[in-house]
Amino acid sequence: MSVVPGPAELLVVCDPHSPARAAVETYLQENGSAAAAWYAARDVDDVDRRVRAGGVRVVVFPSAAELLDVVWTDGIALDAWLAAGARIVFADTTSSDFSAACLPLIWTSWQRWRRRRRRQQVVAGLILSAVAVAGAFTLLLVCR
């Protein structure tokens, strides 16, 4: 059994009225600390600031899905968290197929996908702009 750090070093990202709150509280009690700084998922920007500032050793999420929701909506920069040395753990032990050790690989893959997607969007935007300009020019010629 590992000892969970104190509230200055331990943050929990879980909505207060979420059914997962009980699982997180149980996880904290089983690991030696019920004291933690709690944040709702909508306040993840505050968590991000604290992690980047340093001093946060552990961030607890109810499940991997909760963390990924925050990552996919650009709520946090996971690479900055990993560089700051914050350990991410999940209270939900039923998702044992997903490990926090997979996070750097997932983050790198996500960044590559987003880069490709942005390029595709730029190309599509340029094509649509060219079509719109051509259409407007055609209308001007026809209406004269």
- pLDDT tens profile 84-117: 888 888 888 765 556 667 777 777 777 888 888 8
- Residue-averaged pLDDT of the chain: 83
Q: Read off φ and ψ for residue 55, nearest 5 degrees.
A: 90, -15
**Which two three-digit tokens encode residue 47?**
């968590």
pLDDT given for residue 3 in this prediction: 43
C-beta of residue 32 within 8 angstroms of C-beta of residue 63: no
**Nearest CA-CA partner of 20 in 60, 62, 61, 59:** 62
pLDDT tens column, 38-75? 898 888 899 999 999 888 888 989 888 888 888 877 77
Cα distance between residue 68 and residue 89, in whole Å = 13
- C-alpha dihedral, 98 to 101 to 107 to 108, nearest 10°: -120
Cα distance between residue 109 and residue 112, in whole Å = 5
pLDDT given for residue 123 in this prediction: 94
pLDDT given for residue 125 in this prediction: 95
pLDDT given for residue 8 in this prediction: 63
